[in-house]
Chains A and B, each alone.
Chain A
Amino acid sequence: MERERESELVRLCIEAACQSGESVQKWRRQRRSLERLPAHLADSLLRHLIRRRLIFPSLLEVFKHNAEAIELRGENSVDAEWMAYLGAFRYLRSLNVADCRRVTSSALWALTGMTCLKELDLSRCLKVTDAGMKHLLSISTLEKLWLSETGLTADGIALLSSLQNLSVLDLSGLPVTDLVLRSLQVLTKLEYLDLWGSQVSNRGAAVLKMFPRLSFLNLAWTGVTKLPNISSLECLNLSNCTIDSILEGNGNKAPLAKISLASTTFINEREAFLYIETSLLSFLDVSNSSLSRFCFLTQMKALEHLDLSSSMIGDDSVEMVACVGANLRNLNLSNTRFSSAGVGILAGHLPNLEILSLSGTQIDDYAISYMSMMPSLKFIDISNTDIKGMYPSGQMNVLFSAYCFMIVYNLFLHAYGYVIFPSSVLAGFIQQVGAETDLVLSLTALQNLNHLERLNLEQTQVSDATLFPLSTFKELIHLSLRNASLTDVSLHQLSSLSKLTNLSIRDAVLTNSGLGSFKPPRSLKLLDLHGGWLLTEDAILQFCKMHPRIEVWHELSVICPSDQIGSNGPSPSRTSLRASLVKQKQDPMPMSHSFLDQRLKYSREELLELQYSSLSLARPDDSSTQDAMGLR
């Protein structure tokens, strides 16, 4: 944000100043200039030095007269010496040393008596203990304090009650007991309190209504079952709790805008939402919860974000979701019992829906045509489904199997550098297949969605032929495909997507020559080819050389064929090929259920031999041809 406000020349100056260690030496002695530097320029310069790893403790000192906000999150070198310099920063307002594991309690001594410090983030500084808190007590200006997952005990937390200006307090992952929480009651300015994973129980929760301004409360992973009414509450997180009642009690109902109940178990499901003011609720997460009835949704007309994934919702409750209506922007129904019929009922009721996830549901291709009736959709996730890309049309036609054979045959010859059927012939053939067998390519329906930017089709049954309509989706920015039956044909079809920046085409049978002749869209930044088992290192390096702007992801090609065989499934580390060619360890990955992976069945040598046997199998008759080729 702040970088945008910088003018162009300021940006160029900061870049020049942070070019190298030598350039820093050229300006660091200009004391008079440094003292005159306005705070936002000092902060910006410091931020760049940190990002470029050019900062060291004694260089910090030159900023002590003007820096106001310093972010050192995750810098392992930050230790007591750094803190000693930072303690001398007269105007420092905000200091973030989260995840700096060398910051200790005694290092915090340097901060004693700072007069302007309002925000301090010590999250996950494991060596900060109760002793460190004593040093902080002298900073009475502190308003925001993050202490998540530090080494504090209940005694240290109780000390915080003297920091009367605190409005934000993060005590998550700390042993906060009911007794300690009671001692913090004096912090009446508190607006934000994070207590996930603490030891707070119902007795402690009863104290929470004493904070008159509390608007954000996180009690996830605690033993709280009854939460009393807190009339100022706007955001509430009770995920992974077992809940009896929420916000029951006298007084005004809380103006809740966000509530997260992910993986929550309800003792009394009928009354789960009884005391909640639902008219203002814009965010609801009940994923993986124990809820089985969803009538409460009919009251929530303001919902914009609704997560029902892995819940018990199915087609029978779909009317409740449809009731939510016009405000809904983001709907997650993945891993539920939803089917195409359910999507059909939703269509027409959700005119402003932008994000829809139906991953892992029972939907089929008919659902796609219903999606085309949700005009605002930007992001569709239909991975892990039975989507085939065409309407099922009874028996598979002979022509279609012939087409499949052609693709496979072409592929093996391609690997050896021969081209028998050029792509254009195949494309023509696809249309012919479509025409003569009355197959409807279901993805064609999505052409109506003018805003569609992201599409996830991983682990579906789509094929080269049925992906054909994708080439007309001009607004597409992200596309994810993952399927062992995709070939160079699919890759080449995608050349025409002029706005595509991220393309993932995993586990596909892409060939070296196919990659070599691929003309990537000009906007492409990332190409994920994981599991492309026919590709060699040389071919990928060649591609990287030809298209230096594109980052290519692939497991390693320097490995022997036997290593590659185990390389299906998501690779544990996604190393950029350009960055390093380190040999990766391959973990055994769970097999996909949808198809038998041919790489496990045959070694590379056997596959190459199959190429010749495919010639002898080239009789137009039986389905065994497809079997042998791994197509079904």
Chain B
Amino acid sequence: MKKEDTVKLISAEGFEFVISKEAAMVSQTIRNMLTSPGGFAETEHGEVTFPEISTTILEKICQYFYWSLQYSRGKETDFHIEPELTLELMMAANYLHT
């Protein structure tokens, strides 16, 4: 995959997740950051830092992006969420509009 087709998501602890731009765009918030013409630093470097989102949650979010893409293409599987993650994941999802 070419570099310009990917985006780097960085968690509160500094872990980096490199995922495809298409998957990241599942989040309305990230989509706005990457496409707005204002010349955000995020747009130029393809990097977004989330100081509020822990590594565990960000990993789950990335899994969800890919699951959501597949689901929209007709692959009907369940997305499992561990009960202990629900609260934090819910807040992250709320922030990311996904």
- Give the B-binding residues of A (Cβ under 8 A): 7-10, 12-14, 16-17, 19, 22-24, 26-27, 30, 33-34, 36-38, 41, 45
Q: Closest residue of chain A to B68, judged by CB?
A: A8
The distance from the CB of B77 to the nearest CB of chain A, in whole angstroms, is: 12
CA distance A23 to B81 in the complex (A): 10
CA distance A30 to B57 in the complex (A): 15
CA distance A32 to B74 in the complex (A): 38
Residues of chain A within 8 A (CB-CB) of B86 are 13-14, 16-17, 23, 27
Residues of chain B within 8 A (CB-CB) of A17 are 83, 86-87, 90
CA distance A67 to B77 in the complex (A): 33
6 A–B contacts from the bound complex (CB under 8 Å): A9-B93, A13-B93, A17-B86, A23-B86, A24-B83, A27-B87
CA distance A395 to B64 in the complex (A): 71
Residues of chain A within 8 A (CB-CB) of B88 are 30, 33
Residues of chain A within 8 A (CB-CB) of B80 are 16
The answer, yes or no, to whether B84 is at the interface (CB within 8 Å) is: yes
The answer, yes or no, to whether B98 is at the interface (CB within 8 Å) is: yes
8 tightest Cβ-Cβ pairs between the two chains A and B: A23-B83, A9-B93, A26-B83, A17-B86, A16-B81, A13-B90, A33-B87, A26-B84
Which residues of B from 71 to 86 have beta carbons under 8 Å from A? 79-86
The distance from the CB of A608 to the nearest CB of chain B, in whole angstroms, is: 48
Cβ A8 vs Cβ B98 within 8 A: yes
Cβ A9 vs Cβ B87 within 8 A: no
Q: Closest residue of chain B to A44, judged by CB?
A: B90
5 further contact pairs, Cβ within 8 A, besides A9-B93, A30-B87, A41-B94: A9-B64, A13-B89, A24-B83, A27-B84, A30-B88
Select which of A22, A26, A36 is within 8 A of B91 by beta carbon.
A36
Residues of chain B within 8 A (CB-CB) of A10 are 90, 93-94
CA distance A610 to B90 in the complex (A): 67
CA distance A7 to B29 in the complex (A): 12
The distance from the CB of B98 to the nearest CB of chain A, in whole angstroms, is: 5
The distance from the CB of A100 to the nearest CB of chain B, in whole angstroms, is: 28
Cβ A37 vs Cβ B83 within 8 A: no
The answer, yes or no, to whether B97 is at the interface (CB within 8 Å) is: yes
CA distance A38 to B81 in the complex (A): 20
Residues of chain B within 8 A (CB-CB) of A14 are 86, 90
The distance from the CB of A493 to the nearest CB of chain B, in whole angstroms, is: 33
Cβ B93 vs Cβ A16 within 8 A: no
Residues of chain B within 8 A (CB-CB) of A16 are 80-83, 86
User: With contacts A38-B94, A41-B94 known, is A22 near B89, CB below 8 A?
Assistant: no
The distance from the CB of B92 to the nearest CB of chain A, in whole angstroms, is: 8
User: With contacts A12-B81, A13-B81, A16-B81 known, is A7 near B93, CB below 8 A?
Assistant: yes
CA distance A150 to B98 in the complex (A): 45
- Give the A-binding residues of B (Cβ under 8 A): 28, 61, 64, 68, 79-91, 93-94, 96-98
Cβ A37 vs Cβ B87 within 8 A: yes
Residues of chain A within 8 A (CB-CB) of B98 are 7-9
User: With contacts A9-B98, A10-B90, A41-B94 known, is A19 near B83, CB below 8 A?
Assistant: yes
Residues of chain B within 8 A (CB-CB) of A9 are 61, 64, 68, 89-90, 93, 96, 98
Residues of chain A within 8 A (CB-CB) of B93 are 7, 9-10, 13
Residues of chain B within 8 A (CB-CB) of A12 are 79, 81
CA distance A34 to B90 in the complex (A): 11
Residues of chain B within 8 A (CB-CB) of A22 are 83
Cβ A7 vs Cβ B97 within 8 A: yes
The distance from the CB of A82 to the nearest CB of chain B, in whole angstroms, is: 23
Residues of chain A within 8 A (CB-CB) of B90 are 9-10, 13-14, 17, 37, 41, 45
CA distance A73 to B94 in the complex (A): 28
CA distance A10 to B87 in the complex (A): 9
Q: Closest residue of chain B to A9, judged by CB?
A: B93
Q: Closest residue of chain B to A38, judged by CB?
A: B94
The distance from the CB of A87 to the nearest CB of chain B, in whole angstroms, is: 25
The distance from the CB of B80 to the nearest CB of chain A, in whole angstroms, is: 8
CA distance A37 to B97 in the complex (A): 15
Residues of chain B within 8 A (CB-CB) of A8 are 68, 98
Cβ B91 vs Cβ A38 within 8 A: yes
The distance from the CB of A459 to the nearest CB of chain B, in whole angstroms, is: 43
Q: Closest residue of chain B to A34, judged by CB?
A: B87
Cβ B83 vs Cβ A27 within 8 A: yes
The distance from the CB of A45 to the nearest CB of chain B, in whole angstroms, is: 8
Q: Closest residue of chain B to A13, judged by CB?
A: B90
The distance from the CB of B74 to the nearest CB of chain A, in whole angstroms, is: 16
The distance from the CB of A4 to the nearest CB of chain B, in whole angstroms, is: 14
Residues of chain B within 8 A (CB-CB) of A45 are 90
CA distance A37 to B80 in the complex (A): 21
CA distance A37 to B92 in the complex (A): 10
CA distance A24 to B83 in the complex (A): 7
The distance from the CB of A22 to the nearest CB of chain B, in whole angstroms, is: 7
Select which of A7, A24, A30 is within 8 A of B94 by beta carbon.
A7
Residues of chain A within 8 A (CB-CB) of B68 are 8-9
CA distance A14 to B91 in the complex (A): 11
CA distance A28 to B98 in the complex (A): 24
Residues of chain A within 8 A (CB-CB) of B87 are 13, 17, 27, 30, 33-34, 37
Residue of A16, A33, A34, A37 most packed against chain B (CB within 10 A): A16
The distance from the CB of A26 to the nearest CB of chain B, in whole angstroms, is: 4
CA distance A13 to B84 in the complex (A): 10
Residue of B28, B85, B94 most packed against chain A (CB within 10 A): B94
CA distance A19 to B91 in the complex (A): 18
The distance from the CB of B85 to the nearest CB of chain A, in whole angstroms, is: 8
CA distance A19 to B68 in the complex (A): 21
The distance from the CB of B2 to the nearest CB of chain A, in whole angstroms, is: 28
The distance from the CB of A11 to the nearest CB of chain B, in whole angstroms, is: 9
Residues of chain A within 8 A (CB-CB) of B89 are 9, 13
CA distance A183 to B85 in the complex (A): 55
Q: Closest residue of chain B to A23, judged by CB?
A: B83
Q: Closest residue of chain A to B92, judged by CB?
A: A9
Residues of chain B within 8 A (CB-CB) of A36 are 91
The distance from the CB of B19 to the nearest CB of chain A, in whole angstroms, is: 15
CA distance A19 to B78 in the complex (A): 14
The distance from the CB of B81 to the nearest CB of chain A, in whole angstroms, is: 4
CA distance A597 to B93 in the complex (A): 61
CA distance A426 to B46 in the complex (A): 69
Cβ A37 vs Cβ B81 within 8 A: no
CA distance A22 to B84 in the complex (A): 10
Residue of B87, B93, B96, B97 most packed against chain A (CB within 10 A): B87
Cβ A37 vs Cβ B91 within 8 A: yes
The distance from the CB of A52 to the nearest CB of chain B, in whole angstroms, is: 13
